[in-house]
Amino acid sequence: MSPALFDLTGRRALITGSSQGIGLALARGLAEAGAAVILNGRDIDRLEIAATGLRNGGHRVETLPFDVTDHAAARAAIDGFEADRGAIDILINNAGMQHRAPLEDFPAEAFQHMLQTNIASVFNVAQACARHMIARGRGKIVNICSVQTALARPGIAPYTASKGAVANLTKGMAADWARHGLQCNGLAPGYFETPLNAALVADPAFTEWLERRTPAGRWGKVEELVGAAIFLSGPASSFVNGTVVYVDGGITASL
C-alpha cells in the first residue's frame, strides 16, 4: 500500500463549524496529513484562537468566517476565497446543532432553526464549493452525519430527521456530481465527547446506558474520527461515492 493514498499535501480543506469539537479535531487531523486548512464559524474571536493553536503546531491555517445558514453569504465567501486565495479542494460540512425536547413539546422555532443549521447549511456550502470543483474536474465533499442517520431515540426526533436528510442529500450529490470527478460521502460519528454532547457526558445514567449499548463499551474520542476523514478526503477513496461511513464503536451494528 502506498502512503500517497492518504497524503493530502497540496490540498486545501474547508471545515465548517471548526472552532471547537469535531470540526477542530478534523481540521487538525487533515492538517497533519498535509492539507492546508480553512476554519469556518461565525465567532471570529473563537476562530482565531483555534487557528492560532493549529499554527503553533506548524500547520497552514486560514479562517473564513460566514454564516453557513445564509445561502448568499456562503456563496459570496467561497467565491471570494477562490478568486483571491485559490482552490478549495476538500469540503467537510460539519456545522450543526442539537436541541433536545419531547417531540410533542418540541418548539416550532427550534425545529426550523435545526433545519437551517443541519440541512440547509450542507446544501449552501456544498453547492458553492461544487461549482468550482466541477470546473476543475475534481473535489471531495464529506458531510458529517450521525448514528441518528440510521437510529432514533427519545427526545431528538427533529435531529434524527435532519441527519437522515443529510445522508440522502449526500447520495444526491454523488448522483449529480460524480460524473464531474467529485466524491461526495458522509461520515457518521457515534457518541463522542464533544461540547454538543456535554449534557449527556455529564449524566452518569446516560453514560452507563451508552457503555452497555455500545459494543466498544465507551464514548468515542474525536481523534478517532480523523482516519476515516482522511480516507474520504484523499486519493484512497477515488471510487467511493454516495456512502456513509459509520465510526460508532459498533452501535449501529447491534441490538
Q: Is 226 left (phi over 0), alpha (psi -120 to 50) or beta?
A: alpha
Q: At which residue does the C-alpha cell 453547492 appear?
A: 127
Q: How many other CB atoms sit within 10 Å of the CB of residue 2?
A: 8
CA nearest to 183, candidates 140, 144, 122: 140
Question: What are 38's strand-pairing partners?
Answer: 14, 62
Query: CA 7 from chain center: how many Å?
Result: 19
Active site residue 159: yes
Q: How far apart are CA 145 and CA 186, in angstroms?
A: 6
Contacts of 104 (CB under 8 A, 6+ apart): none
The catalytically annotated residue of 66, 81, 123, 159 is 159
Query: Cell for 54?
Result: 493549529
Which residues are annotated as catalytic? Answer: 159
